[in-house]
Structure 1
Amino acid sequence: MPLTSAPVMFIGHGSPRWALSPGDAAARLQEYSVFFNQVKALLVISPHWITRGMQLTASPEPETIHDFGGFEEALYQLQYPVAGNPDLARHIQALLQDQGTEVSLNEQRGLDHGAWVPLLHMLPDHRIPVIQLSLDAASTPESLVVLGARLKRLRNEGVAIIASGSLTHNLYHIGDEHGSPLDYVVRFQDWVRSRVIERDIPALSKPHLNSDDFSAAHPSAEHYLPLLIAMGASSEADQLSVLESPVLYKALSMESYGWR
């Protein structure tokens, strides 16, 4: 067992082009990577894998999925050749099912860009095995907090939990990569940060009732929801790090959080 529990993170993964244009957001992840020295495996959740019922990847060598279109060819050549861990996937399946959460194994699924792009920047040597957990389409904010709490014990086994998403994700408002952020983006990012610092999980679970900017920030909620898993998997005893990063494309918050 590691001397300290493995970290939990919420990572803002932005556009797929972030893989080619690292900038400050990638630098913040690289700085935080020092806390992964004793980590044995990563469990990653991304809004780009939504299923009916929860699934875990169980491939020994998960492929790098280029689940996007319309970008330059160089982006499709990038690979994140990391190992999986089928035995650990079965262990996580049993752990969740013992707590009443049904989950199946998927031996064909690889890693989507919500998983591999941030890892490409944070852990470029791809030395730590990765398992991805899907988002169940039937999830509620409350059930995702509970899911995070059920995953929390994995941290004491050296498994880091990484929830990938975006604090703001309105693709209708995308602009120049380094254009000035829209006002509602800054307001909502600031609101989330304040609630995360206060560990105000009830407010974060009902952002549509507690922030006037939620509907503009998230025409659909899937990129916000992984934050709730991270809140459930972290605890008051953890040290929170706010990884402040510039807003990209005027509408995509790149802010991330780490708990250790």
Structure 2
Amino acid sequence: MSSLLPSLYISHGSPMTALQPGLVGPRLAELAAGLERPRAIVMASAHWLGRAPLVSAAAQPQTIHDFGGFPEALYQLQYPAPGAPELAQDVAQRLAAAGLQPSIDPQRGLDHGAWVPLRYLYPEADIPVLQVSIQPSLGPRHQFAMGRALASLREQGVLLVGSGSITHNLHDWHHYEAGKEAPYVRPFIQWVEEKLQADDLPAMFDYRQQAPFAAQAHPTDEHLLPLYFAMGAAGSDQLGAQRIDAGIDMGFLAMDIYRFDGAAR
């Protein structure tokens, strides 16, 4: 009897994670080794934003190098996974049935929020992948609803993943490289872990008001919103949250990974 796949939230960090895996690379490899092989992957990335849900349906998604000023070696990396056009139609139908008004993008490739962590989860790039967009203007509850609308796909062998960063303040780039940490990082990630493990959804939805240092940890929401997608994809208000510590990159990017097994934990 097959086991139910969890939903995942991954902090993908800087694009340089693709060349310098730090702790997150081994953690993702270990995580994947303990899961049944998915038949397909649906990723909600912080790097695809829209006003309404978009679903990618390219048959062979291009690897998008959506960044600048990095070493040339980074731009040579490819993640040639196949797309999942038929699954994209199913995803769009499920989102539409939930009243979320999706559209299909037939050409969208994989941005670095998708392909960087996938290089460590499934390095052979042989599992079909599609992306869904994030809608920052619609807030956490909307992203949770997107994940909840797709949660039953986990029963069909589809891995649902949100990719962002548990803390993300690019104003602090290069400020903490000498072994120091931004003072807001640990209080924020500890608060998130406490609320997730307590299944405190109201507090999580209101993180801007309730979490310590919320504005410093996330000047804008887009890198935390994929967490709510993964929470919704747990399929139950009993999240079954498990935190996987993958360190703190550059002193300000917490690399936490979460798996959500839902009530079936």
The two structures have a TM-score, normalised by structure 1, of 0.94
Q: For the residues of structure 2 that align with 1:81 and 1:74, how far apart are their CA atoms?
A: 17
- Identify the residue that residue 139 of structure 2 maps to in structure 1: 140
Judge conservation of contact 2:13–2:165 (CA < 8 Å) in 1: yes
Tell me the secondary structure at the aligned position of residue 108 of structure 1: coil
Match of 1:28?
27
Give the alignment of 1:1-260 within 5 angstroms. 3-175=2-174, 179-234=179-234, 235=236, 239-260=240-261
Between the aligned partners of 1:178 and 1:242, the Cα distance in structure 2 is 26
Alpha carbons 1:39, 1:160 under 8 Å: kept: yes
1:237 positional shift: 6.0
Counterpart Cα distance in 2 of 1:224 and 1:178: 26
**Structure 1 regions of 5+ residues with no counterpart?**
none
Q: Which moved more, 1:148-157 or 1:75-84?
A: 148-157
SS at match of 2:93: helix
Structure 1 residues 84 and 178: alpha-carbon distance in aligned structure 2, compared to 1, 3 A threshold: farther
Give the residue type in structure 2 aligned to 1:53.
Answer: A
Identity %: 39
1:186 CA drift (Å): 1.1
- Deviation (angstroms), 1:178: 6.7
Provide the rounded CA distance (Å) in 1 between the counterparts of 2:92 and 2:211.
Answer: 35
C-alpha deviation, 1:38, in angstroms? 3.3
TM-score by length of 2: 0.93
Structure 2: runs of 5+ lacking an equivalent: none
Alpha-carbon deviations, 1:183-208, whole Å to 9, x = none? 21111111111111112111111111
> Equivalents in 2 of 1:84, 1:35: separation in Å?
24
What's the C-alpha RMSD, in Å, of the aligned pairs? 1.6
Q: How many residues align?
A: 259
The CA deviation at 1:238 is 6.2
**Deviant stretches of 4+, over 4 Å:** 236-239
